[in-house]
């Protein structure tokens, strides 16, 4: 988790760090935090298959 926080402290809109941190939250059952990060990815313009796949898993 520290590496994601370090990257995000340098570039708070880094899509890949946001999505990967969201995946970690998803894996450990912290769904609200995962959803927040996935939504940030969408707001910041990331639109790829993987992101939509993980969002669909949360439904």
Measure CA 46 to chain center: 10
Q: Quick one: pLDDT at residue 28?
A: 96
Q: How confident is the model at residue 26 (pLDDT cuts 50, 70, 90)?
A: very high
Mean pLDDT of 20-27: 95
Q: How confident is the model at residue 47 (pLDDT cuts 50, 70, 90)?
A: confident
Examine the pLDDT at 34 and tell me if it is beyond 90.
yes
How far apart (Å, rounded) are the C-alpha atoms in residues 11 and 29?
26
Q: Quick one: pLDDT at residue 20?
A: 94
Smallest Cα–Cα separation from 34: which of 11, 59, 12?
A: 59
């Amino acid at each position: 988790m520290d590496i994601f926080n370090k990257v995000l402290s340098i570039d708070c809109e880094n899509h890949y760090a946001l999505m990967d941190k969201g995946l970690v939250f998803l894996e450990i059952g912290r769904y609200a935090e995962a959803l927040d990060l996935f939504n940030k990815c969408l707001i910041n313009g990331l639109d790829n298959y993987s992101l939509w796949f993980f969002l669909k898993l949360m439904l």
